[in-house]
Amino acid sequence: MKTTVKNNKATRGFTLVEMIGVLAVIAILAGMLIPKIFEAIRNSRINATLEAYNTLKAAVLENYAKWGRFAYGHDINDTQNSQTTAATQQYTGSSFDYILFKEGRIDARAADKIPLSTSGGTDNVYVNVVAGKGNNGSGYDLDGDGTAETANAAYTVELIIKSVAVQDAQDLSLRLDGKELSANDLTTTDTKGRVEYGTITDKKTDVYIYIAHQ
């Protein structure tokens, strides 16, 4: 009679040292990848904002070319005005992107296209037409020579984005204006170029972006 002896092999598990080694590798990889992920997200926000800005600028210039001024073909209540009225009416207010939308020049309001505001909504992201030089009265020093090119403007059109992370504000300025016309660090206000911002509170600021003036 044969006797069969089973060879029972012990299943080997991970030792504590091996587990620590694996966790260390994971931590190192996470440390390398997470900053790149956040950078990619920030770049996506900036790219979307730049695309929306260029679209808005083109729409503003089309509006001006049609009416000879920054005018409205619709009023705030969606009632279409006559061309005669629009051709003689200079629009001023903080919802000019709504006018451009109703005219069919853009496919959505600025707030729907621009993700930079930490508050969002049409009260915090909009196109403004203001009598005078814009940017809360300080105007836009577009070439950085110390003098606002919009100083004598009758009207200025600007994109306003409120409550923006200062890192995003600086990145946007660097992309639109270049290093020479942008703030040097995240604690300094930006007073040059198309992108300007002032008071920084809790690492956030309100951004003013020049579009056009007459």
Digit-coded pLDDT (tens) for 133-151: 999 999 999 999 999 999 9
Beta strands in the chain (DSSP E): 125-131, 155-165, 195-197, 204-213
pLDDT for residue 104: 92
Rounded CA separation 23/28 (Å)? 9
157-175 pLDDT, tens digit per residue, is 999 999 999 999 999 999 9
Which residues of the chain are modeled with pLDDT < 50?
none
